[in-house]
Amino acid sequence: MDSEVDIITTPKGFHCNLCNTNVPNKPSLDEHVKGRKHQTLTNVRATRTAQEECSVFVTGLQKDTSQTQLTEYFQQFGDVADGVYAIVQFGAVGGQQAALCPLVHQMSGLRLRVKPREKKGFKLVNKKKMDFKNLQEVLERLRPVLGQAGTLAENKKTARELLVQLIHEVFTEFFPDSQILPFGSSVNSFGIHSCDLDLFLDLENTKTFQARAKTSTEPVAEASSDDGRSEDSILSDIDLSSASTAELLDLVAAILKKCVPGVHKVQVVAGARLPVVKFHYQELDLQGDISINNRLAVRNTRYLQLCSWLDPRLRPLVFTIRYWARQKQLAGNVGGAGPLLNNYALTLLVIYFLQNTSPPVLPTVDQLKTMACEEEECVIEGWDCTFPSQPIAVPPSKNKQDLCTLLAAFFSFYATFDFAGNVISLREGLALPVTSFLSQARTVTPEADTKEGEPPRQTPKLGPLNLLDPFELSHNVAGNLSERSQHNFQRECQEAEKYCRSLQYLRKSAKGKPWGLVRLFTPHSGGLQSPDGSADKETTISIPFKLALLPEVLRNQLQLAGDGFRLLWFQRVCAAVVQVFQHILKFLPGSSAESAAAAEGTGPADGEAASGSCDSMDASWEELDMSGDSTAAGSGSPPSAPPAGSKRPLPSEGGDTSPAPREKKPRLGAGPKAGSPRWTWSQTHTVWAGRRKVRRELLKTAADSRPEGSNEELEIQVTDHMVGKEPPLKVPLVFRVQARLVGATQSTKVQLKLHPPSEGKEHFRDLFHFLEIFLPKMVDTLMEKGV
Ligand code: UTP
């Protein structure tokens, strides 16, 4: 091509488009055109153009088609100079033209699509010379292994490794100097041969490469192209430093789809916390994920690996817990998203437990940091990820407990763990009360503090189970858990703990039943049983602690209350419960005497009871004994008002992790007595039966589609409507409700026990089922509003 077309005049002299170079005047231009760079590029361009003219692009090949077969087939149209994947390059233009003539190409029974190779204007792209030799080598080695993959686990492992190598080879063709780094169970020593293949495409070096290429003057030959889009355009089309994750993932997906044989079902999942490209590798029936911003995962994989090297008991324990959790439907989110624990979270729960055995089996992450040498210092995205690379740097544990003992201890550890009230930190090997954690998060300036240009650090998403990532301290790895899954996890731990104390677990007596571990792994039968099998649970409603839901003001107050936060929260919940019964559902509060009278049909007149005019009446509080598993409130809580409707100050309950003897329990404020508030409620209208229908009717005139229990005003209207329209019961329904704070030795929650009345049991049962859903939802709504 004539050099002149490459040169344009600029206000400052001349610009050579081919070399992307400016020169100030004519003599310099002449020198440039004669120079090595311009000459080399001109030659490269000429060669490339000739190659393009001699090449065709082929699609529709069978996935196991070899390059030899491809070459053999196209030999009939002319001498094939080269065949790389889908590009067939002939020795002369005639071959290409001949190959384009037939209307139908068929090979191994499949119809091929053959089209001219895209002709692309030559650009200077500083790119490593593409070399497909490695790729072919990997493919050749992969094929025989894949043939036997189904038979041997060892072969599967080799096949996985080769697949990773193949993907690596393909990606380096498009992204010079990039790396494919496996992480997760396939490399952290906790994998089974069917586990997913998690890959991190590290583009950091490619970014440097691209930045250098932009300023460098060295010409670099280009690569082949695929259908409709030139691979060799990738680095010239996309600026890696400014491209969005979605753009990059689309590119990764396109490369996977078009250039990695055997890969199917490629799908970009951009909405996840960590966006990925998912794919399926059919021969190995393998599910894979490729992410591009996941350096921390590669590092935490190394950490898990180190932990498993440190103590041989960790691996079997993790496998056992993972299997148990899967059998009990506590783990295994389909497609990676869902409300259950993931394997990573389960593994961290096991490690945290092992940090807390006596003596500890594993050191804390902070302790590990002190054992690392200077070269092992590692900070990723501002998070300190320093730990020794070799187990030799860490002294062995003095703990000699056997696996069976540790397994049983794992269950009892979590059977009585306050998940909602604490934040688990593997760094410190501690569970911090959520409120202390939040105040720390505000005041402490960790190494991970925001650096210039980085997004501000978030506090982790707190929920029913708070388990901090050991490195990325703003990430709650169990943040996806729902109340129910946390509850189920704890319930199954309680069940397992009970079983581990039995003779069957200890293998002393089988009594004809499955024994040992087998029984532990009995699949979850579905349906919720009570952990202790007591009838009590049948009429108990739980209201779990949900810090994230509370308004800022209340969160601050809880924070100030320190360890006493549970009690303060309990008071607010009780106030909200009173509000739901009294103001929303229009129940009448009454003393025991009134209740008894009402139960006998001599209580307040029906009309009165239903009118909701109970402003002057307080719910009655009766002091009860502390129940066994409620614990003492921490000291230092601010005195606060008793909940609405209470006649006595609230009892002090729930608090730090060590239950204090009863008489020594710290008091809240000016010495309230220990106990549980109790109310008696009565209602002459079944405001729970057919409530949804009334609500739907009322909603026809109101533009509100929120679910039941999320709109206070609407619920009051529904009750008023029902009370006004429906006939009263002959005998009012009277029953008692007793509130109890649970925490410290279980997940923080309020338990409301409803005592069935002697009369109207059927109405009571319906009411209970209604309240089971409605009451926690309505309390949440009121708490959110700040009752
Ligand atoms: P998984 O939970 O999938 O664990 O997380 P796994 O051990 O690989 O199990 P399977 O067999 O694939 O289901 C995979 C990896 O992702 C990172 C960790 O490196 C983990 O090992 N990860 C996961 C995080 O960094 N944070 C998370 O919250 C979850």
Confidence at 620, pLDDT banded by 50, 70, 90: very low
Q: How far apart are the CA of 517 and the centre of ligand 1, in A?
A: 26
- The answer, yes or no, to whether residue 335 has pLDDT greater than 50, is yes
Residue identifier of the C-alpha nearest atom 19 of ligand 1: 297
Q: How far apart are the CA of 472 and the centre of ligand 1, in A?
A: 14
- Crossing angle for the helix pair 343-355 and 314-327, to the nearest 10 degrees: 130
- Crossing angle for the helix pair 295-310 and 343-355, to the nearest 10 degrees: 40
Task: Pick the more confident residue, 466 or 459.
Answer: 466
Burial category of 133 from C-beta neighbours within 10 Å (exposed 0-12, middle 13-18, buried 19 and up): exposed
pLDDT in tens, 142-192: 766 665 554 556 677 788 888 898 899 889 888 888 999 999 988 888 887
Pick from 466, 500, 499: which is nearest to 481 by CA? 466
Give the torsion sign (CA, 646, 652, 656, 662).
negative
* DSSP annotation of 582: I
Task: Pick the more confident residue, 134 or 363.
Answer: 363
Q: How far apart are the CA of 484 and the centre of ligand 1, in A?
A: 22
- The answer, yes or no, to whether residue 777 has pLDDT greater than 60, is yes
* 3-state SS, residue 131: coil
- The answer, yes or no, to whether residue 193 has pLDDT greater than 80, is no
Residues with CB under 6 A from ligand 1: 183-185, 188, 190, 195-196, 198, 296-297, 300-301, 342-344, 477
Pick from 55, 262, 20: which is nearest to 138 by CA? 262
Q: How far apart are the CA of 426 and the centre of ligand 1, in A?
A: 16
Q: Which of 194, 290, 302, 344, when mutated, tests ligand 1's pocket best, judged by the most ligand atoms within 8 Å of its CB?
A: 344
Confidence at 322, pLDDT banded by 50, 70, 90: very high
* Ligand 1 atom closest to 336 (CA): 3
Confidence at 391, pLDDT banded by 50, 70, 90: very high
Q: Which of 185, 302, 471, when mutated, tests ligand 1's pocket best, judged by the most ligand atoms within 8 Å of its CB?
A: 185
Q: Could you give the CA distance from residue 278 to residue 268 in angstroms, rounded to a whole number? A: 6
Highest mean pLDDT (candidates 24-28, 107-111, 334-338, 502-506): 24-28
Instruction: Please compute the mean of the pLDDT values over residues 98-121 and round it to a whole number.
Output: 78
Instruction: Please compute the mean of the pLDDT values over residues 671-685 and round it to a whole number.
Output: 74
Q: How many helices (H) and strands (E) does the chain have?
A: 24, 22
Phi and psi at 384, nearest 5°, equal -75, 115
Q: What's the chain's average pLDDT?
A: 78
Across 23-27, 138-142, 510-514, 613-617, least confident range: 613-617
Q: How far apart are the CA of 435 and the centre of ligand 1, in A?
A: 28
Confidence at 511, pLDDT banded by 50, 70, 90: low
Residue identifier of the C-alpha nearest atom 28 of ligand 1: 477
Tokens for 270, please give them: 């951009």
310-520 has which CATH code?
Answer: 1.10.1410.10
Pick from 271, 268, 293: which is nearest to 279 by CA? 268
pTM over the 0.75 mark = no
pLDDT in tens, 426-443: 999 999 999 888 877 665
Task: Pick the more confident residue, 407 or 158.
Answer: 407
pLDDT in tens, 217-240: 544 434 333 333 333 446 766 888
Instruction: Please compute the mean of the pLDDT values over residues 778-785 and round it to a whole number.
Output: 92
CATH superfamily of 154-212+234-293: Beta Polymerase, domain 2 (3.30.460.10)
Confidence at 341, pLDDT banded by 50, 70, 90: very high
Residue identifier of the C-alpha nearest atom 3 of ligand 1: 343
Tokens for 442, please give them: 């505000």
- The answer, yes or no, to whether residue 109 has pLDDT greater than 60, is yes
Cis peptide before 359 (omega within 30 of 0): yes
pLDDT in tens, 563-604: 788 999 999 999 999 999 999 999 998 754 444 444 443 333
- The answer, yes or no, to whether residue 310 has pLDDT greater than 90, is yes
pLDDT at 229: 34
| Contact between 772 and 542 (Cβ < 8 Å) | no
Instruction: Please compute the mean of the pLDDT values over residues 435-464 and round it to a whole number.
Output: 67
pLDDT at 239: 84
Q: How far apart are the CA of 666 and the centre of ligand 1, in A?
A: 43
* Ligand 1 atom closest to 294 (CA): 25
Q: How far apart are the CA of 185 and the centre of ligand 1, in A?
A: 7
**Annotation: CATH topology of 35-116:** Alpha-Beta Plaits (3.30.70)
* Ligand 1 atom closest to 190 (CA): 7
**Same fold: 35-116 with 310-520:** no
pLDDT at 613: 28
* Ligand 1 atom closest to 196 (CA): 12
pLDDT in tens, 241-274: 888 899 899 999 989 988 888 899 999 998 888 8
Q: How far apart are the CA of 749 and the centre of ligand 1, in A?
A: 30
pLDDT at 69: 79
Query: What are the residues facing 541 on neighbouring strands?
Result: 752
Residue identifier of the C-alpha nearest atom 6 of ligand 1: 185
Q: Could you give the CA distance from residue 46 to residue 769 in angstroms, rounded to a whole number? A: 81
Pick from 513, 518, 514, 520: which is nearest to 499 by CA? 520
Q: How far apart are the CA of 712 and the centre of ligand 1, in A?
A: 41
Query: Identity (one letter) of the amino acid at 631?
Result: T
pLDDT at 671: 32
* Ligand 1 atom closest to 191 (CA): 11
Share of the chain above pLDDT 90, in %: 38
Instruction: Please compute the mean of the pLDDT values over residues 693-716 and round it to a whole number.
Output: 80
Across 6-20, 46-60, 550-564, least confident range: 46-60
Share of the chain above pLDDT 70, in %: 73
Q: Which of 198, 346, 381, 471, when mutated, tests ligand 1's pocket best, judged by the most ligand atoms within 8 Å of its CB?
A: 198
- The answer, yes or no, to whether residue 86 has pLDDT greater than 70, is no
Q: Where are the domains of the chain?
A: 35-116, 154-212+234-293, 310-520, 540-656+668-785
Q: How far apart are the CA of 411 and the centre of ligand 1, in A?
A: 22
- The answer, yes or no, to whether residue 557 has pLDDT greater than 60, is yes
pLDDT at 202: 95
Q: How far apart are the CA of 301 and the centre of ligand 1, in A?
A: 8
User: Going by DSSP bridges, is the β-strand pair 197-202/286-291 parallel, antiparallel, or unpaired?
Assistant: parallel
- Write the CB contacts of 766 (distance below 8 Å, at least 6 apart in sequence): 686, 688, 689
Q: Which of 285, 299, 343, when mutated, tests ligand 1's pocket best, judged by the most ligand atoms within 8 Å of its CB?
A: 343
Q: How far apart are the CA of 336 and the centre of ligand 1, in A?
A: 9
Q: Could you give the CA distance from residue 634 to residue 655 in angstroms, rounded to a whole number? A: 5
- The answer, yes or no, to whether residue 445 has pLDDT greater than 70, is no
Q: How far apart are the CA of 314 and the centre of ligand 1, in A?
A: 17
* Ligand 1 atom closest to 346 (CA): 2
* 3-state SS, residue 685: coil
Residue identifier of the C-alpha nearest atom 7 of ligand 1: 185
Q: Could you give the CA distance from residue 49 to residue 507 in angstroms, rounded to a whole number? A: 78
pLDDT at 498: 92
Residue identifier of the C-alpha nearest atom 29 of ligand 1: 344
pLDDT at 152: 53
Confidence at 513, pLDDT banded by 50, 70, 90: low
Q: How far apart are the CA of 468 and the centre of ligand 1, in A?
A: 14
Query: What are the residues facing 739 on neighbouring strands?
Result: 752
Strands (E), 365-447: 379-380, 383-384, 422-425, 430-433
Q: How far apart are the CA of 181 and the centre of ligand 1, in A?
A: 14
Task: Pick the more confident residue, 132 or 100.
Answer: 100
pLDDT at 58: 77
Q: Which of 195, 333, 342, when mutated, tests ligand 1's pocket best, judged by the most ligand atoms within 8 Å of its CB?
A: 342
Confidence at 779, pLDDT banded by 50, 70, 90: very high
Query: Identity (one letter) of the amino acid at 358?
Result: S
- The answer, yes or no, to whether residue 560 has pLDDT greater than 70, is yes
Residue identifier of the C-alpha nearest atom 24 of ligand 1: 297
* Ligand 1 atom closest to 342 (CA): 2
